[in-house]
Amino acid sequence: MKQPLRLCAISAGFVVLTFMLFSAAIQTAQAQVPAPVACSGPTLDMKLLVVTNGKTEAVFPAIRQILGYLGTPYDVLDMTVNTGGITAAMLSDGGCHGYYQGVIFAYGGYIYTLPGMSILTAYEQKFAIRQVNWYMYPNNDFGFNYPYNGVITSAGTDSASFTSAGASTFWYANTATPVTISNAYIYLGTPLSAPPSGASVTPLLTDASGNALSLIYTLGDGRQYLTQTFDSSPYLMHDLILAYGLINWVTKGIFLGEYHVYAAAQVDDFFINDSEWIPGTPCTDPITHDRTRPDSTMLPFFRINSADMSSLVAWQNKFRSDPLLSNFKLTLAFNGVGTTGNTDWTGLSTRGVANDDLTTNVQNYQQYFHWISHTYDHPNSLNGLHKSDPYGDPDTPQVDSIDLEILTNKYVANGTGQNLDPDSSNSVSPIHLTDFNPANLVTPGVTGLNDTSVPSYLVQDGVSYVVTDTSVIGQPNNGPNPSPNVGIVNSYAPSLYEVPRRPNDVFFNAANWNDDQAEFSCIFNNPVQPPYNSFTAPQILDYVSSSFVTNMLMGDIDPEMFHQPNLHDYDGQGHSLLGDTYDQTFTKYERIYKLPVVSPTLDQLGQNMQNRNTYNLSMATASLTGLSGSNLTISITVPATASVPSAIIPITGLYTVGAESYGGQQISHVPVSRGQTITLPVTPAPPISLYSLTLNPTSVTGGGPQPSIGTVTLSGLAPAGGTQVSLSSSSALASIPPSVVVPAESTTATFTVNTSAVATSTVITISASYGGASKSASLTVTPPLLPMVSSLALNPTTVLGGVQSSTGTVTLSGPALAGGAQVTLFSDNTSASVPASVTVAAGSTTAAFTISTGAVAGSTVVTISASYGGASTSASLTVTPPTVASLTLNPTSVVGGVQSSTGTVTLSGPAPAGGAQVTLSSGNGAANVPAIVTVPAGSSSATFTVNTSIVLVSTSATISASYNGTTQTASLAVLL
């Protein structure tokens, strides 16, 4: 489904307040501020206060968005609803228990109009509370000189560079890249030239003219303001870049909730073919006059092959060698029927698994991907299917079943489940996927989830996680997230959890950008929808990749949807629609961000969403008690009234044993039961050490073209100069560098594990150590897989028996190993003989052999077969019988009744066993021939006598010889 462009031109509107108008109010507010009261052990609830005036500010949904994705609790004080403003009871118990750890003003100017602002000021002073002013014009009260220098309207842009302080505040951003502020009103001001005694100003973002667009004003009385002088909205890139840093700053780096950058891509229909929307496809169906369906029968089919997968593996490994992208791995949702050699599903010209290199070469690429089920043969719908009676009952006959779809695909994946395919002509065999989780499923067309029975059947067959389509609105058990990073509990089977998945404009039936642009144009020109109706392929790519980056920066966990044609290497240079999309996505991402990208599997996505939902439902609260650096503790409570029995509470900035280290921050996940309070000390994380070592893949072919990529992760950011992690291998069969350097301000680095050929499967231990910690991971090095015979070709395919031979050529699916590959040969008829075997030389993929033939009485089709590597293939040879090549007479002129002539028939080849009986005839009674003449077996000619009679007038006779549908003639002159 198409989403509107996420652009928002923001007007200054109400924000221009005259500084002089409020000077008196400022002085009054300052006069009412009481002196801060020191607390020896203050308690602060881990919650934020957001101040708005009617929730109409453009920045308000941006504030809600970041807090919603983080899961950070907050209260909204709406000045149009709470007209009485701030009261002391809202903020604290009057003693040393404060109810908010930070304050956010949607518009900073509300400090002049918010009733009770003096009470809030006193609270901020007493508890050293920070305040973010998401948008404010520059003036003295926020640490800027006044009057300010001017404005840039929403039609213009400004480029804001990070200062050293800004680089520290927004450490997760690529601070070498300035932030482009556009589609927003911008005030231009300079830092306060002469701050009051005890106050200081720290610019975070400055432009080329010296204007400070974001700064921290430390007032010297316990308060700190961070103020931005530009407007924002949820989808403007500058807000997406800066929002997390604002929340991290206002909470002093410790808060309820967590933040990650996600990129999970799932590819449907693997192993089967899809329709292809080729350029020139009519936008309107000429028969129905409706928009042409994307799977219209007028469209050709397309299916990727083994070469496409080789390109895809190389493309993905390139990304995984990038420390920020080392976790990125595609998930392939497969349909097992496409591995059975059935041309209805593969679209190949020849039936048989041996003719399908995508299947025969599966072990060359399967270990590089996550695999999930997409059902066995992709029925149009799961709705209404019985569980296990594929042939139904007399009242409700069925042609399919849930068991067939789920259990047969399990069987194909790894030999578990059960082969229930009723088509005995399908070669159903396990393909041995090493990273397959049967709990995960993509239902065809997102069907079956709102059926009253199917969800329970899926659960009974071991399915726990499925996907929905975020573009579907208003349909139960389908559609978008009910809240950020939360999925859907199926209403008919609560054990079935639904993960919302995002469609995009890389269409399922597009194998190249010409396809995609053609369909895109049809969609957005019927009716015309500017500006999309004129988009070219580069614009489509830019739009889609930008939307991906937006979702990543939001912290959105939803996976993206693709289909197998999108994996096609359309130019032979390694480019595909999916690859191009993520090439541009990650290029844009790394230009502005430097947090590692997380790529969860479907079950991990589901578990994360379930954990987030139980956290939301737990009504958990948390409080910080004590002074920072002096016996500070966190108390977490799940009330007895919670609707869930327990929850895992995420706390960023808290180190506990086993805490996650992500982007230089510690994230603890604390399990708390209903009615329980847990108190934990806030202690600094131990010195930076090695946090983890991972290998991908964990199994490789020794000496093969694809290595394994190792990733080391530290427990914190590497210091200036980087961190050198020592590496070692338990065997010379897996070679690695002696060390790898984690760059400064990063947490990860990658290295390559190259392997040598092995005779038997060998497990090798790769180890890494740093900071007193060691981690290890196992790598399985396997012998090269035997290639399979993939094709047999004959040339020529029709020969004359006993005269001509044919040349057979066998082709393997991969190079023959050392010693060569001995391919067994067989002929099903003695009229064509083959050697017992032919050897494909080591390193080669083909070998030729000769097929000798014998004479046959009639046209004979012979099947020649070749077998190797557990696969067989065959080809047909037609052996034809001889024909009458010539008929000659000697002499050709005789005196009737006195002389005879000798006829000779010659065949085109040797006569078969039993000889060849050639039929003879004469067209004139003056010349007589026998009815037949027999060419002896193995011979190609025979003679006969032509006797003559006396004639009254010289005449001629036509003598004919016929065999196997051919006739030759000769003339004999009979003279008077």
Examine residue 101 and state whether it is found in any structural domain, yes or no.
yes
pLDDT of residue 548: 99
Q: Are 693 and 712 in contact (CB under 8 A)?
A: yes
The DSSP call for residue 502 is B
Instruction: Take residue 930 and report the two structure tokens written for it.
Output: 């026998």
pLDDT of residue 25: 34
Residue 749 and residue 819 in one domain: no
- Tell me the pairing of strands 597-598 and 966-975: unpaired
pLDDT of residue 30: 36
pLDDT of residue 746: 86
Classify burial at 676, counting beta carbons within 10 Å of its beta carbon; exposed 0-12, middle 13-18, buried 19 or more: middle
Q: Are 332 and 596 in contact (CB under 8 A)?
A: no
Which of 377, 380, 305, 310 is CA-nearest to residue 348? Answer: 305
Q: What is the CATH number of the domain that holds 541?
A: 3.20.20
CA distance 874 to 791: 8
pLDDT at 77 over 70: yes
Instruction: Take residue 884 and report the two structure tokens written for it.
Output: 């009458």
CA distance 565 to 300: 12
pLDDT tens by residue, 261-312: 999 999 999 999 999 999 999 999 988 889 999 999 999 999 999 999 999 9
Question: Looking up tokens 């719908």, which residue turns up?
Answer: 381
pLDDT tens by residue, 817-843: 888 999 999 999 999 999 999 999 988
Examine residue 171 and state whether it is found in any structural domain, yes or no.
yes
pLDDT of residue 874: 84
Residue 775 and residue 833 in one domain: no
206-220, 604-618, 627-641, range with the lowest pLDDT: 627-641
Peptide bond before residue 930 is cis, with ω within 30 degrees of 0:
no
Mean per-residue pLDDT, 936-945: 95
Q: How many domains, in total, are found in the chain?
A: 6
Q: Are 919 and 931 in contact (CB under 8 A)?
A: yes
Residue 360 and residue 297 in one domain: yes
> What residue type is 873 in one-letter code?
T
CA distance 551 to 6: 12
How many CB atoms neighbour CB 482 within 10 A?
12
407 or 814, which is more confident?
407
Which of 199, 217, 224, 195 is CA-nearest to residue 124? Answer: 224
- The rounded Cα 96 to chain-centroid distance in angstroms is 52
pLDDT tens by residue, 677-697: 999 999 888 888 999 999 988
pLDDT at 355 over 90: no
> What residue type is 509 in one-letter code?
N
The DSSP call for residue 672 is E
> What residue type is 107 in one-letter code?
Y
pLDDT of residue 702: 87
- Give the SS3 label for residue 372: strand
Instruction: Take residue 593 and report the two structure tokens written for it.
Output: 């961000």
Instruction: Take residue 7 and report the two structure tokens written for it.
Output: 């652009």
pLDDT at 665 over 60: yes
Residue 191 and residue 225 in one domain: yes
pLDDT band at 16 (very low <50, low <70, confident <90, very high): very low
Instruction: Take residue 724 and report the two structure tokens written for it.
Output: 């050198």
Which of 563, 348, 372 is CA-nearest to residue 467? Answer: 372
Mean per-residue pLDDT, 774-794: 87
Task: Point out the domain boundary residue: 681, 704, 722.
Answer: 681
Count of alpha carbons within 13 Å of 93, Cβ hemisphere only?
A: 8
pLDDT tens by residue, 361-403: 998 899 999 999 999 999 999 999 999 975 555 555 556 899 9
Residue 53 and residue 188 in one domain: yes
Q: What is the CATH number of the domain that holds 953?
A: 2.60.40.10
Handedness of CA 7, 11, 14, 19 (dihedral sign): positive
Q: Are 172 and 261 in contact (CB under 8 A)?
A: no
Residue 61 and residue 152 in one domain: yes
Examine residue 469 and state whether it is found in any structural domain, yes or no.
yes
Region of 98 on the Ramachandran plot (φ > 0 left; ψ -120 to 50 alpha; else beta): beta
Residue 403 and residue 523 in one domain: yes
Instruction: Take residue 44 and report the two structure tokens written for it.
Output: 């602060």
- The rounded Cα 520 to chain-centroid distance in angstroms is 21
CA distance 915 to 735: 71
Examine residue 36 and state whether it is found in any structural domain, yes or no.
no
Terminal CA-to-CA distance of the chain, rounded, Å? Answer: 99
Instruction: Take residue 647 and report the two structure tokens written for it.
Output: 């929850």
- Tell me the pairing of strands 690-696 and 708-714: antiparallel
Q: What is the CATH number of the domain that holds 137?
A: 3.40.50.880
Residue 764 and residue 622 in one domain: no
How many CB atoms neighbour CB 284 within 10 A?
12
- The rounded Cα 843 to chain-centroid distance in angstroms is 33
Contacts of 295 (CB under 8 A, 6+ apart): 274, 275, 509
Instruction: Take residue 718 and report the two structure tokens written for it.
Output: 């590497």
pLDDT of residue 433: 95
Examine residue 668 and state whether it is found in any structural domain, yes or no.
yes
pLDDT at 496 over 70: yes
pLDDT tens by residue, 642-663: 999 999 999 999 999 889 999 9
CA distance 837 to 826: 8
pLDDT at 38 over 90: no
Q: Are 969 and 960 in contact (CB under 8 A)?
A: yes
pLDDT of residue 27: 34
Question: Looking up tokens 């197998």, which residue turns up?
Answer: 564
Q: State the DSSP H helix or E strand holding residue 250, giving kind and residue range, or none if neither.
A: helix 237-250
426 or 629, which is more confident?
426
**Residues of the chain by 3-state class (helix, strand, coil), percent to 5:** 20, 35, 45
Instruction: Take residue 796 and report the two structure tokens written for it.
Output: 């020529």
Classify burial at 813, counting beta carbons within 10 Å of its beta carbon; exposed 0-12, middle 13-18, buried 19 or more: buried
Find the angle CA(113)-CA(119)-CA(124) to the nearest 5 degrees: 105
CA distance 538 to 581: 10
pLDDT tens by residue, 548-570: 999 999 999 999 999 999 999 99
Peptide bond before residue 891 is cis, with ω within 30 degrees of 0:
yes
Examine residue 608 and state whether it is found in any structural domain, yes or no.
no
170-187: b (≥16 Cβ within 10 Å) or e: bbbbbbebbbebbbbbbb
CA distance 691 to 713: 5
Examine residue 15 and state whether it is found in any structural domain, yes or no.
no
CA distance 501 to 469: 5
CA distance 871 to 337: 18
CA distance 236 to 936: 94
Question: Looking up tokens 């109009």, which residue turns up?
Answer: 113
Mean per-residue pLDDT, 471-484: 97
Which of 348-356's residues contact partners 24+ apart within 8 Å by CB, and which partners?
348/303, 352/427, 352/873, 353/427, 353/429, 353/871, 354/788, 354/789, 354/790, 354/791, 354/871, 354/872, 354/873, 355/790, 355/791, 355/873
Residue 721 and residue 831 in one domain: no
Peptide bond before residue 697 is cis, with ω within 30 degrees of 0:
yes
pLDDT of residue 487: 99
Q: Are 75 and 50 in contact (CB under 8 A)?
A: yes
Find the angle CA(197)-CA(201)-CA(204) to the nearest 5 degrees: 170
φ, ψ for residue 305, nearest 5 deg: -130, -175
pLDDT at 422 over 50: yes
Which of 164, 163, 212, 167 is CA-nearest to residue 192? Answer: 212
Find the angle CA(865)-CA(870)-CA(871) to the nearest 5 degrees: 40
Q: Are 764 and 730 in contact (CB under 8 A)?
A: yes
Task: Point out the domain boundary residue: 833, 852, 880.
Answer: 880
pLDDT tens by residue, 708-758: 999 999 988 888 889 999 999 999 999 999 999 998 888 899 999 999 988
Q: State the DSSP H helix or E strand holding residue 521, giving kind and residue range, or none if neither.
A: helix 513-524
Residue 338 and residue 367 in one domain: yes
CA distance 543 to 660: 34
Handedness of CA 621, 627, 628, 631 (dihedral sign): negative
Residue 777 and residue 902 in one domain: no
Q: Are 661 and 709 in contact (CB under 8 A)?
A: no
Range of the domain at 798: 789-880
Residue 896 and residue 950 in one domain: yes
pLDDT band at 37 (very low <50, low <70, confident <90, very high): low
Task: Point out the domain boundary residue: 202, 233, 253.
Answer: 253
Examine residue 35 and state whether it is found in any structural domain, yes or no.
no
